């Protein structure tokens, strides 16, 4: 029964995430619903700077405003979980006792002055993204709970995390006034009901998708078209329809393909949308790849010249091209590449690009 409840809740949370990412529902709905993972749960999306020990709650569910204000004003600097949270792998859900033994937590001022008055002693946390010393995290904290309840919540959070990491990019774009993605909304007749300016700009970069003179979406990529039609099919004809599908679209100039995410609102998000339409989110990968390259350089303590090589490789440049741009010899660039291999443990340029791609998914 508990496993079924957690599976249903995880599915609902994923639905809420994409509704929020596509601007069809408030992020607060996801924050409030995710509190149900643990008894009397309190959820926070927040950031923390490891070097300065500064941090703040950006979005919270279940916390009194005064508790948010006190954390942002003082207690961010003495949060004992942060030492581990800023070093753990991205996207890995961890229980509080895995990050800091319970006995050590209970001896801290953070527990005595901040957590105990709120009847909080444990919880779950995950690091969503990091930019050098700045870390972005999601946590749910609560009073003590049975191990099986915590294990079930951890399993459910693990199901949600890949989607939260993708959606978090949209949240950061919203809060930091930056975006590299655009969204279209289409109906069952492939009519474009809404499209933002960036979506139209990105559409012009690909031959696979276009909006015709009558406002209908045309698609020459057979797999993408199949998924769109499957998403828009009536429920009794859809079969095993995915709620979310991710793929790529070729670009006219041969640049890195556009990422495409196709989303069909489930029953939860449909209450906000008001219709069974389909959403397409188009994203230029370059800004997130650059961010991934920056993170790669920071994690492996690369020099400025080495970090530049990683960034240019991520942008598709060849070693000879990088050497010409820097007015140095190809041998010098190859020597610096070997240093990158040694520091990072990578054995090829392909390994570097795979690591950069993974680090870019949470941008």
Residue 266 has pLDDT above 80, yes or no: no
What does the pLDDT average to over 133-153? 90
Across 19-56, b (16+ Cβ under 10 Å) vs e yields bbbbebbebebbbbbbbbbbeebbbbbbbbbbeeeebe
Residue 62 half-sphere exposure toward CB, CA atoms < 13 A? 23
Residue 128 pLDDT grade (very low, low, confident, very high; cuts 50, 70, 90) = confident
2-176 under CATH 3.40.1010.10, yes or no: no
Per residue in 281-300, pLDDT (tens digit) is 888 877 777 778 888 888 88
Separation CA 322–CA 328 (nearest Å)? 9
Segment 119-131 mean pLDDT = 89
pLDDT of residue 37: 93
Residue 362 has pLDDT above 60, yes or no: no
**CATH classification (class only), 181-284:** alpha beta
At 234 the pLDDT is: 79
Confidence of residue 277 (pLDDT cuts 50, 70, 90): confident
pLDDT-wise least confident of 2-16, 188-202, 253-267, 312-326: 253-267
pLDDT confidence bin for 177, thresholds 50/70/90: very low
State mean pLDDT over 122-151. Answer: 88
What pLDDT, on a 0 to 100 scale, did the predictor assign at position 238?
A: 60
CATH number of 287-360: 1.10.10.10
Query: Of 314, 245, 255, 309, which is closest to residue 284 (Cα–Cα)?
Result: 255
Q: Do 43 and 140 contact (CB within 8 A), yes or no? A: yes
Domain 2-176 and domain 287-360 have a common topology: no
* Averaged pLDDT, 85-105: 91
pTM higher than 0.75:
no
Handedness of CA 159, 161, 165, 168 (dihedral sign): positive
pLDDT at 109: 95
Mean pLDDT of 147-164: 92
Domain boundaries, the chain: 2-176, 181-284, 287-360
């Amino acid at each position: 029964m508990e496993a079924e409840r957690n599976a249903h809740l995880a599915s609902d949370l994923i639905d809420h995430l994409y509704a929020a990412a596509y601007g069809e529902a408030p992020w607060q709905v996801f924050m409030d619903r995710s509190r149900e993972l643990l008894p009397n749960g309190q959820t926070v999306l927040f950031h923390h700077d490891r070097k300065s020990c500064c941090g703040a709650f950006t979005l919270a569910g279940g916390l009194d405003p005064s508790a948010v204000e006190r954390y942002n004003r003082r207690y961010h600097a003495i949060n004992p979980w942060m030492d581990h949270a800023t070093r753990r792998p991205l996207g890995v859900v961890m229980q509080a006792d895995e990050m800091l033994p319970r006995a050590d937590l209970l001896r801290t001022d953070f527990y005595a002055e901040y957590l105990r008055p709120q009847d909080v002693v444990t919880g779950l946390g995950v690091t969503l993204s990091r930019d050098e010393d700045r870390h972005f995290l999601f946590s749910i904290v609560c009073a003590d709970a049975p191990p099986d309840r915590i294990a079930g919540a951890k399993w459910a959070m693990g199901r949600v995390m890949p989607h939260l990491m993708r959606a978090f990019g949209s949240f950061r774009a919203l809060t930091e006034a930056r975006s590299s993605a655009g969204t279209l909304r289409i109906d069952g007749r492939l009519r474009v009901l809404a499209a933002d300016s960036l979506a139209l700009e990105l559409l012009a970069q690909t031959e696979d998708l276009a909006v015709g003179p009558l406002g209908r979406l045309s698609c020459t990529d057979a797999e993408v078209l199949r998924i769109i039609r499957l998403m828009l099919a009536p429920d009794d004809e859809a079969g095993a329809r995915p709620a979310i599908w991710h793929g790529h679209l070729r670009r006219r100039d041969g640049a890195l393909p556009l990422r495409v995410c196709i989303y069909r609102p489930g029953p939860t998000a449909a209450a906000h949308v008001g219709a069974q339409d389909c959403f397409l989110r188009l994203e230029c990968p370059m800004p997130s790849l650059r961010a991934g390259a920056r993170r790669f350089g920071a994690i492996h303590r690369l020099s400025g010249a080495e970090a530049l090589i990683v960034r240019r490789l991520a942008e598709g440049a060849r070693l000879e091209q990088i050497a010409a741009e820097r007015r140095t010899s190809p041998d010098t660039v190859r020597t610096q590449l070997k240093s990158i291999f040694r520091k990072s443990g990578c054995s090829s340029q392909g390994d570097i690009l795979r690591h950069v791609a993974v680090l870019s998914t949470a941008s």
